[in-house]
Amino acid sequence: MIKRFYVYFLCAFLVHISHAQTGYSNFSQQTTRINALAKNYPQLAKVKSLTKTASGKDIWQLTIGTGNTDTKPAVVIVGGVEGNYIIGAELAIGFAESLLQGSNTDSIKALLNKTTFYIFPDMSPDAMEQYFAPLQYERQGNATITDDDRDGKTNEDGYDDLDGNGKITWLRVESPVGDYKTHPDDARVLLKADLNKGEKGKYIILTEGSDNDKDGQFNEDGEGGIAFNRNLTYKHPTFSAGAGEFAASETETRALLDYLFEQFNVYAVVSFGSNNNLSTPFAYNATTANQPLIGSWLQQDVKVDSMVSDLYNKTVNLKDAPKTSAGGGDFLSWAYYHYGRYSFSTPGWWVPKTKPDTTKGEKAFIIDDAAANYLRWAGQQGITNTFTEWKTIQHPDFPGQKTEVGGIDPFVLINPPYKLVPDLVKKHTDFLVKFAANQPELDIINVKTEKAGALTRITVDVINKGALASHSKLGERSYWVKRINVKVNTSGNQSVISGKKIQLLNSLEGYSSQQLTWLIKGTGKLTIEAGSPTTGSKTIDVTL
């Protein structure tokens, strides 16, 4: 159980933010907020453009810390892992703003003196901008032009706004071979009919649009090229739409990976997207974890995930998280399996499981469904304008059939109303600060010297004072993750008779130690140094 953490309050700052900002930030507003941090906190924050997307948008990197930040243990925080999760970028930028606003407190000063934060607020700015576009639809792909249906043409069959409301919702077409039916408790919602139970469908469901290229498919090749969260190297879903012709094909993907592989001081990565091992930690699977090609988290790393998940749930207190599974090419998996670091991800928010309001005659749902639950929750919260009522239209692809446009609006199932964002920023900032306070940290203690004739025996304990191990168990298998280096620095007439003058420790678990001993010939003082990029360094003087 995690025992040590920092607690601080940012209420006044969050009130300021809530007054200053009334909605989600588009790319231009994100850029202004990010650059303002470097301007207002020049000693603590540095901003640079890592690269540009195909549409010319900067991928911003914000480094927060003191002194030589690249020599201190670091946490990477990534927003915009998926472009339709607008909340992720808000949480990443909000964390940076909150952390720096609290940087005059003793606890945050102490944290920033020993920890570096590399923040990438938005890895999908091209896709994110669709939220603010005249035609709003959920998009994950960047501005790279793609031929998703591989017919030699590009962007020839995208969405069509058939009802002219500026939102892409759904088509439902009455058909004797339809496989969807209305929800028994909410006729606005459609469910897949269960043929095994003898249920019969009434509707065919499609995304709003037309078969523009007359190939029998709807909206299969529109704008929105390669998705960052499908373009990574672990189990890359090659030949799938949005994955790219090969792993790390995109400029922003390559730039991030190239940068992170050079940052040996990173011990953990936290990202905001659909994948979730924070509210619900991974379970250990001995069969897949012990395969030659590792297919699931190693046992000790699962224990760490469970510990961090416990901290997350106690701090953020979001319940009833939806189940998720990584789809391949995703950032969460890459950061663990191919980068060798602890990797954590959360959507940051999801629709709470709603209880029926008996005062309004509501009853428990016969069938649990995310859309029906959302509509009930939105109604109880007084949230409006998030559902487009079904409207009959004449559709050229379905002559003589009743065709309607409507359904739940884009983005609302996975992004909270903005009024909830300041509180979510505060809770996730609290979590990240508490998490970072448990980073691996080396010390050298219990120094003993004993005379052994003309020699001196030196015994020390190299300890990890943090709750997290110096490296993940998977990271121990990677030559790219630097080990703990323990070195005896002799001078003059001194020489090491027994014990290694330079030795590597594979790893130190949280709150653990390893005893080392040497026989030294000579007199005077020498130094013993222990450290790694992910743990920091400690040096002591010993008199022979």
CA distance 533 to 115: 11
The predicted pLDDT at position 16 comes to: 42
CA distance 287 to 340: 20
- Model confidence at 377: pLDDT above 90: yes
CA distance 21 to 29: 10
Question: CA torsion 288→332→168→199, rounded to 10°?
Answer: 20
The predicted pLDDT at position 222 comes to: 66
Neighbours of 21 (CB within 10 A): 16
The predicted pLDDT at position 383 comes to: 94
CA distance 510 to 513: 9
Q: How far apart are the first and last CA of the chain?
A: 40
Condensed to tens digits (0 to 9), the pLDDT of residues 51-99 reads 999 999 999 999 999 999 999 999 999 999 999 999 999 999 999 999 9
Q: How confident is the model at residue 291 (pLDDT cuts 50, 70, 90)?
A: confident
- Model confidence at 25: pLDDT above 90: yes
Q: How confident is the model at residue 20 (pLDDT cuts 50, 70, 90)?
A: low
The predicted pLDDT at position 161 comes to: 86
Residues 40-51 have a mean pLDDT of 97
The predicted pLDDT at position 12 comes to: 38
The predicted pLDDT at position 292 comes to: 85
CA distance 75 to 158: 39
Q: Which residue would you say has higher pLDDT here, 470 or 15? A: 470
Q: How confident is the model at residue 195 (pLDDT cuts 50, 70, 90)?
A: confident
The predicted pLDDT at position 217 comes to: 72
Condensed to tens digits (0 to 9), the pLDDT of residues 337-351 reads 999 999 999 999 999
> Lowest-pLDDT range, 114-123, 333-342, 359-368, 429-438?
359-368
| 146 phi-psi bin (left φ>0, alpha ψ -120 to 50, beta other) | beta
Q: How confident is the model at residue 183 (pLDDT cuts 50, 70, 90)?
A: very high
The predicted pLDDT at position 210 comes to: 83
Give the pair of three-digit tokens for residue 188: 């606005």
Question: What domains are defined for the chain?
Answer: 11-131+225-350+416-436 (3.40.630.10), 151-222+353-408 (no CATH), 442-543 (2.60.40.10)
Q: What is the mean pLDDT of the chain?
A: 91
% of residues, the chain, pLDDT over 70 = 93
- The residues, any chain, with a CB within 8 Å of residue 8's CB and separated by 6 or more, are 102, 105, 107, 108, 430, 433
The predicted pLDDT at position 446 comes to: 97
Q: How confident is the model at residue 327 (pLDDT cuts 50, 70, 90)?
A: confident
The predicted pLDDT at position 1 comes to: 39
The predicted pLDDT at position 2 comes to: 41
Condensed to tens digits (0 to 9), the pLDDT of residues 490-517 reads 998 999 999 999 999 988 999 999 999 9
Residues 167-173 have a mean pLDDT of 93
